[in-house]
Amino acid sequence: MSQQTSEAVIKKSVVVRRPVEEAFELFTTDIATWWPVKTHSVAEENAETVILEPQEGGRFYERTRDGDEHLWGTVTVWEPPSKLACTWHPGRDEETGQEIEVVFEAHDDGTRIVLTHTGWEKRGSEMAEAMANYDQGWDRVLGFYTEAAKS
């Protein structure tokens, strides 16, 4: 896993041994099979699943065991199998949201996935702490993704 963290950008990349189409589908359609919802969600232990609606304007959200929904963001770019982008504000007001872009590109005998997380200035005085948390958090989340891609 490689990474780049500079001023107001977090960039992470991983390579999986899957064709681009499969890597994109695992990341999007099958996100509930690998996302660590019990630790990386709004409701944590009460979270049941995560859903990414596959279209521009689609919601990216979690659903709890009680049926409550917590919006994480809205899909702004949907270009299967090469790119996905969305706003990102789990558990917060949309005005504080950042942007996430995930690009899928052929790489040797697999796919390289590059996740870029920007818009940190919207977090104001919380920016540095939030970036530090997400810098580590994306490593963990992408680790779950790469493990799922092995099966």
Q: What is the pLDDT of residues 47-90, one digit of tens each?
A: 999 999 999 999 999 999 999 999 999 999 999 999 999 999 99
The pTM assigned to this predicted structure is: 0.94
How many structural domains are present in the chain?
A: 1
pLDDT at 4: 54
Residue 123 belongs to domain with CATH number: 3.30.530.20
Q: Quickly list H helices, 35-126.
A: none
Nearest-angstrom CA–CA distance, 85 and 26: 16
The partner residues of 50 in beta bridges, in order of sequence, read 62
DSSP state of 5: E
| Span 3-42, pLDDT tens digits | 554 469 999 999 999 999 999 999 999 999 999 999 999 9
Give SS3 for 28.
Answer: coil
CB of 51 within 8 A of CB of 39? no
Domain range enclosing 117: 2-149
d(CA 137, CA 145): 13
